[in-house]
Amino acid sequence: MITNFDQNQSILQILFAYVDSLTIGGVPPMTGRPPICRKALLKCFFVKTVFQINSLRK
């Protein structure tokens, strides 16, 4: 069960706005898979951290 949802939501909104304002350069490493935007990876990391989720696959 997710506790403090409203607080977590406001934290995520602030973090996502910050990530969107960043200019992240560089080329993603070649792994044979389609490249993933580094901003999207940061947002996934923040969601996992704020809600203490082990994996987003399940």
Q: Of how many residues is the chain composed?
A: 58
State the pTM of this model. Answer: 0.66
How confident is the model over 7-47, as pLDDT tens digits?
888 888 998 999 999 888 766 677 777 777 888 888 988 88
Q: What is the mean pLDDT of the chain?
A: 81
DSSP 3-state of 18 = helix
DSSP 3-state of 7 = helix
- 43: containing domain: 1-22+32-58
Q: Could you tell me if 24 and 39 are in contact, meaning their C-beta atoms sit under 8 angstroms apart?
A: yes
How confident is the model over 38-56, as pLDDT tens digits?
888 889 888 888 888 888 7
- The pLDDT, as a whole number, for residue 7 is 80
pLDDT band at 1 (very low <50, low <70, confident <90, very high): very low
Radius of gyration for the chain, computed over Cα atoms and rounded to the nearest angstrom: 14
Residue 46 lies in a domain: yes
Instruction: Count up the domains in the chain and report the number.
Output: 1
Residue 12 lies in a domain: yes
Residue 27 lies in a domain: no
